[in-house]
Amino acid sequence: MGFRGLAALPDKLIITGGKQRRFHYDMKEWTGYGAAKALQIQFTPDLKVSEVIDYTSPEDCLPEDSEASITFKSGTRRSESLWVATQTEALCFSTQDFSLQHRISHPVFNDVHHVYPTLDDTLLVTSTGLDAVFEFTPSGEKMNEWSCTEMDIWQRFEPGKDYRKVLTTKPHAVHPNHCFEYQGKYWVSNMKKSQCQCLQTGEVIHLDSGNIHDGILVGKYAYFTHVNGFISKVDMDLQRVIEIHDMNQIEVGPKQLGWCRGLYCIDEYRFLVGFTRIRPSKMQMGMEWLKNRFYAKGWQGCLPTRICLLNTKTMSFDWQVDLEQHDIHAVFSIL
């Protein structure tokens, strides 16, 4: 495998995700992962992959089910700090020695998908299980809350209940995922609505290429992954999609690309993209884009969990790194 273009990458990047417990056909996300993992990928002088964090959540913030999932979800890198979510925590690790520096856990945390430190030194936490985003002080005091649906959070959920102890609240109404801020406004990607929503004003940007996951800001542009293998580029001033890339045209064989989640912008034309091997049980979820290409049976019907260097000029993957060889079976962030 030739790793072209390494010189243009940062010296090191961090990959967050989880190790799978077993490979059952009907594996569920809320019980399928047994350890939160982070890898460091060093690009110079040669590509090197090493595990830097192997984390298990404490019992006090886990459901009583002995097989409740423990995995890293999406995070944000700030200077020498890595903020990252587990199902029920917001954690801060040093990027120098990967020691745990800070931990916040709160009863409103259920299936947390992202932690985002704002420019005002607060934390946005996407509690996907409550279809909501919460804002916290660094000490863990809840400041603000926003429902990502048309209903108030506490019309659907019970005030005062510890949702860290609830194994799952699925099905989610909108499944919010990823937060970012632009010109003082907070935005969140809502997967099931295929839209990006401003938390303060309710403004909405529609993305019609499929269910969205990550939303990362680069200058005035926001880039979104669609789980069905597309990337959309949004001009945040115009609040509309100006460019779409379809990665399905790159892999034309019978195996499915994977669940597209995790994005890092190298330059205008190149991106690192994460793909997670699709669980066969997702075939039962009415996702037609899976059924069209999921010819092989079971886990063999999908390419492995990996990161790929996408070149949008040539619409090709310049290289790929298999993450399953390093005990990551679900990839979330590339930071």
140-166: pLDDT as tens digits: 999 999 999 999 999 999 999 999 999
- pLDDT grade, residue 283 (50/70/90)? very low
pLDDT for 44 beyond 90: no
Of the given ranges (54-63, 68-77, 181-190, 281-290), which has the lowest mean pLDDT? 281-290
pLDDT recorded at residue 297: 43
Neighbours of 100 (CB within 10 A): 11
Q: What number is the average pLDDT over the span 125-131? A: 99
pLDDT above 50 for 121: yes
In a domain, 120, yes or no: yes
Report if residue 304 sits inside a domain.
no
Mapping DSSP to helix (H, G, I), strand (E, B) and coil, where does residue 159 land?
coil
Give residue 26's domain range. Answer: 6-255
Residues ≥6 apart with Cβ < 8 Å to 151: none
Q: Is the pLDDT of residue 7 over 80?
A: no
Domain count along the chain: 1
- Kindly tell me if the per-residue pLDDT of 4 is higher than 80: no
Tokens representing residue 76 in the block: 């944000």
The burial of 323, by beta-carbon neighbours within 10 Å (0-12 exposed, 13-18 middle, 19 or more buried), is given as buried
Distance CA 124, CA 161 (A): 20
Is there a contact between 73 and 112 (Cβ–Cβ < 8 Å)?
Answer: yes
Inform me whether the pLDDT recorded for 258 exceeds 70.
Answer: yes
Give the pLDDT score at 52: 99
Interval 106-122 mean pLDDT: 98
Q: In percent, how much of the chain has pLDDT > 70?
A: 89
The answer to the question of residue 315 being in a domain is no
**Rounded to a whole number, what is the largest CA-CA distance in the chain?**
55
**CA dihedral sign, ordered 157, 175, 264, 28:** positive
Q: Is the pLDDT higher at 295 or at 78?
A: 78
Q: Would residue 308 count as lying in a domain?
A: no
Q: Is residue 119 part of a domain?
A: yes
Q: Which of 8-22, 116-130, 157-171, 315-329 is predicted with the least confidence, judged by mean pLDDT? A: 8-22
> In the beta sheet, which residues pair with residue 223?
216, 233
Q: Where are the alpha helices (DSSP H) in 14-152?
A: none
Residue 158: which CATH number?
Answer: 2.120.10.30
Query: 118: buried, middle or exposed (CB in 10 Å: 19+, 13-18, 0-12)?
Result: middle
Rounded Cα distance, 132 and 147, in Å: 5
pTM here is 0.92
pLDDT at 9: 78
Q: Judge whether 163 lies within some domain.
A: yes
Residue with the larger pLDDT of the pair 87 and 282:
87
Is the pLDDT higher at 325 or at 23?
325
Q: How confident is the model over 190-194, as a mean pLDDT?
A: 96
Q: Per residue in 16-48, is it b (16+ CB within 10 Å) or e — as a string?
A: bbbbbbeeeeebebbbbbbbbbbbbbbbeeeee
- 285: pLDDT strictly greater than 50: no
Structural domain includes residue 1: no
**Rounded mean pLDDT of 214-230?**
97
Residue 216 domain-assigned? yes
What is the secondary structure of 198-253 as a DSSP string? ETTT--EEE--SS-EEEEEEETTEEEEEETTTEEEEEETTTTEEEEEEEGGGT--S
pLDDT surpasses 70 at 26: no
pLDDT above 70 for 299: no
Instruction: List phi, psi (to 5°) of 36.
Output: -85, 130
pLDDT band at residue 200 using 50, 70 and 90 as cut-offs: very high
Give the residue from 249, 220, 222 showing the smallest Cα distance to 312: 249
State both tokens at 161: 């209940």
Q: Is the pLDDT of residue 282 over 80?
A: no
Residue 226: what pLDDT?
97
Is the per-residue pLDDT at 45 higher than 90? no
Q: Say whether pLDDT at 16 is over 50.
A: yes
Q: Is 79 left (phi over 0), alpha (psi -120 to 50) or beta?
A: left
Confidence of residue 298 (pLDDT cuts 50, 70, 90): very low
